[in-house]
């Protein structure tokens, strides 16, 4: 009998063709299989409140480590192995962790941290929403009330981790995001500015050095 997967990969798919081009081939090529949780939200037919959908996916039974990723993310076959090594390294050092990603931003407006540009785990303030691995046993949820569209709910989750003294990290790995991270506006399209202000209002007293990708 095959071993139960150690990881779940969850994605809200707005365009099946995008997932078929990027995410699905990467999942098919993994050397270590994962539980797949792909939720079709074609043309935002279910809701534009992605945080609420992420909470739904977070509650589904499965492995204790769950990743949330965009359907236009691609990665090498050893990606899960690299993730597992990162988790083991953090836990071996005795540091509790809350979120691990492939691109993040250092505190106080510091540098962007990309998974393919580093050789070791790097602590960050927040992660880009294109990929975030978390632990289901943390008891945290995405704030679907304040962040009720596409922006800043992953960044808020990272700040919840910091508040609970769970670290946020970028792991060295070969993974890419074909979408907004590389475009001229990056994630700052649509209502980003409004939600970024909400993020500041929620956390500025507790974490004045907050910064986002």
Backbone φ and ψ of 6, nearest 5°: -85, -20
pTM, entire model = 0.93
| Contact yes or no for 124/207 (Cβ under 8 A) | no
pLDDT tens digits in sequence order for the chain, 213 residues long: 456 899 999 999 999 999 999 999 999 999 999 999 999 988 777 788 999 999 999 999 999 999 999 999 999 999 999 999 999 999 999 989 999 999 999 998 788 999 999 999 999 999 999 999 999 999 999 999 999 988 999 999 999 999 999 999 999 999 999 875 444 444 555 688 999 999 999 999 999 989 887
Q: Which domains does the chain have, with CATH numbers?
A: 7-203 (3.90.550.10)
What is Dmax (Cα atoms) for the chain? 52
């Amino acid at each position: 009998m095959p071993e139960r997967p150690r990881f779940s990969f969850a994605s809200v798919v707005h365009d099946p063709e995008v997932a078929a081009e990027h995410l699905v081939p990467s999942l098919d090529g993994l050397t270590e299989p994962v539980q797949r949780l792909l939720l079709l939200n074609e043309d935002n037919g279910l809701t534009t409140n992605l945080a609420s959908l992420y909470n739904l996916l977070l509650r589904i039974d499965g492995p204790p480590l769950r990743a949330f990723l965009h359907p236009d993310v691609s990665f090498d076959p050893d990606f899960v192995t690299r993730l597992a090594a990162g988790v083991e390294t953090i836990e071996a050092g005795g540091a509790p962790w809350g979120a691990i990603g492939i691109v993040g931003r250092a505190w106080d407006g510091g540098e962007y941290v990309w998974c393919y540009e580093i050789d070791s785990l790097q602590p960050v303030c927040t992660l880009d929403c294109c990929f975030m691995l978390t632990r289901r046993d943390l008891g945290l949820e995405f704030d679907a009330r304040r962040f009720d569209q596409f922006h800043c709910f992953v960044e808020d989750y990272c700040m919840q981790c910091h508040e609970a003294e769970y670290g946020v990290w970028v792991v060295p790995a070969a993974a890419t995001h074909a979408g907004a991270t590389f475009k001229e506006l990056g994630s700052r399209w649509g209502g980003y500015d409004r939600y970024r202000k909400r993020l500041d209002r929620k956390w500025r007293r507790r974490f004045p050095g907050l910064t986002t990708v």
